[in-house]
Amino acid sequence: MKDAGIAIVIASSNQGKIKEFRSLFPNNFVLKAQSEFTTPQVEETGKTFVENAILKARNASLFANLPAIADDSGLEVDALNGRPGVNSARYAGPAASDQDNITKLLAELEGVPRPQRIAHFHCVIAFLRHADDPTPLICDGAWQGYIQTEPSGSYGFGYDPVFYVPTHKCTAAELDTEVKNQLSHRGQALAKLIQKLRSDPSLS
């Protein structure tokens, strides 16, 4: 690794995600938000998490002229045939808030019994060394739980307040940040990516 640290642009405007990324990366990485480079939002036209992660990372790398990291993540609910999936962030509409999305999700699950409210958080992270990188690093993570009937907890973001974690008997929004980072889909994917970056000769 370079002693001065490696600058990477995070292809996200979501402050919750940016905070999580920065808390998980070692100090020898300098993570910059894409907003520092007035990067325009790219339309997420992909049909999979992988496609959208690459689209976002390539866009951020192009405007920042730096290596870029992007994640595309979402919630898949078995009883809803995998919805909201890749549309998780905009489930209730293009400008939907976290609360809007949770409200729609709970309405669609009304009357569904607890054993059938199985849900999975999925995260795919793409790392591009430059905008034209033909071999991006791809890592993924998954986290299984259940959807509660009402929100609980004030930590986290997105669907965390209704995502019940059986192993800890609480929602993701009630977990301490350090514990959540060890369990979560994003934490899993980032841990894999960091290991790959440590051994990438192009970054040494």
Active site residues: 72
Q: How far apart are CA 161 and CA 164, in angstroms?
A: 8
Q: Residue 119 has which token pair? A: 């849900």
| Residue carrying structure tokens 């569904």 | 112
C-alpha 90: how far from chain center: 14
Report which residue type is found at 123.
C
- DSSP notation for 96-131: --HHHHHHHHHHHTTT--GGG-EEEEEEEEEEESST
Residues linked to residue 75 through DSSP beta bridges, in sequence order: 121
